[in-house]
Each structure stands twice: as structure tokens, then as C-alpha cells.
Chain A
Amino acid sequence: AQSVTQPDIHITVSEGASLELRCNYSYGATPYLFWYVQSPGQGLQLLLKYFSGDTLVQGIKGFEAEFKRSQSSFNLRKPSVHWSDAAEYFCAVGNFGNEKLTFGTGTRLTIIP
């Protein structure tokens, strides 16, 4: 069965600092990988996705993520965070032929001035 681990429950970063949110997945074949962001009281917004090809993917809002098969990881990065990036971030995994996405438990990002 597929699974996703986000080891960091809560991360605090200063505005302007770089960010890396960790995501590890478990799945036998090549997965589809996603990062979603959820602001308080809002739905889930897709930041970026990986299916195949270039292992470094660019998303919206200046985010990027790198798929590393050897480490079963898909970490999310941003070189310089803004106060508006404060939110909950979810990594998710899916696969061709299986309808559902499996989500991680999320990482809450707090930005300090």
C-alpha cells in the first residue's frame, strides 16, 4: 500500500529565509507526487506535481520540489519565504490505475518577521 510521511509537524522560518519541507513516500512503482497547500479555512491548492521526466519540478508561488527515487523523497523548497506562505502543506502520492491520493499528515509552516 502507498504511504506518505511528513516528518516535520511544525516548522518556523524567518521571512526571507529558505525553506525545505520533507516528504517521503512508500510505493513499489513510480508514483505520482503532489504538494498541496491549505490556508486556514480554505481548500487544498495544488502547488506542483511530478509524474515523470525532469526530477526537479517548478510550481506556483516560487516553490519547487525534487524527486529522488533513491531516497523515496519529494521535498518541497523555496529560496525565500514570504509571510503569506504561512499555511499547512501536504504531500500526496498517487499512481496510475489507482484513483485515490494518499496524503501525509501535513507540515504547518509559521513565518516570523
Chain B
Amino acid sequence: EPEVTQTPSHQVTQMGQEVILRCVPISNHLYFYWYRQILGQKVEFLVSFYNNEISEKSEIFDDQFSVERPDGSNFTLKIRSTKLEDSAMYFCASSENREDGYTFGSGTRLTVV
């Protein structure tokens, strides 16, 4: 069964450093998303991406965050200057169309120290 692949599975970074989280969505999917889950809390929407542009973003997704689809297969989330409160599990998801629901990756656990 096709799956969404995320790398790395765990990343530790120092506060103030830039990180890039990588995702390979399912190949025929058109909609891409990032969500995050702070430990013990609910899964929160960050951003959606369609047709090479952001289609919606949450208030969490401020100027420190950016997304990119640099080629035909990867979808990345960049955090420019990490803060302690950015520590969370970050999930990438993709869908062929919104009605089918999303396929989520297994996540990248980001730890900011």
C-alpha cells in the first residue's frame, strides 16, 4: 500500500537553528499538509499546499515556518529559527482529493534543546 515517508524520524536541534523536515507524499496525490502534535496534546493543523502554493495556514504557521515542494516528489517544512516550544511530532499528510481523507506519515519527532 502506498505510504507517505518522512525523514528523519527524530531530529534534535539547538534553539535558534534552522531545521528542514522532509516528506515524500504519495505520488499521485495533489494536496499536501503539515500537522504537529506537541507531547500530550492534540494534533494541530499547520498548513496545506496545493498547486505549488499555500492554500491555507493556521495561526501557528508564522513567518518562522515555510513549506516548499522543491521537485516532483519532496515536500518540506522549514523552521527558520527554532524555539523550545517547537518541540513536537510533525506529521506530513497527502491526499488525492480532500474527500478521501489524508494519508499521514509516521512523523518526525523534533526536539529543540
Contacts of B42 in A (CB 8 A): 90, 103-106
Contacts of B105 in A (CB 8 A): 43
Q: Is A84 an interface position by the 8 A CB rule?
A: no
Contacts of A32 in B (CB 8 A): 98-99, 101
CB-based contact B56/A98 at 8 Å: yes
Interface size class of B (residues with CB under 8 A): 20 to 34
CB-based contact B91/A44 at 8 Å: yes
CB-based contact A99/B107 at 8 Å: no
Contacts of A104 in B (CB 8 A): 42
Per-residue CB contact flags for chain B residues 29-43 toward chain A (1 = under 8 Å, else 0) read 001010100000111
Please, which residue of chain B has its CB at the minimum distance from the CB of A102?
B45
Q: Which of B33, B43, B50, B107 contacts A103 (CB 8 A)?
A: B43
Chain A residues near B (Cβ < 8 Å): 32, 34, 36, 41-46, 49, 51, 90, 92, 94, 96, 98-106
Top-3 shortest CB links A-B: A99-B48, A100-B45, A43-B106
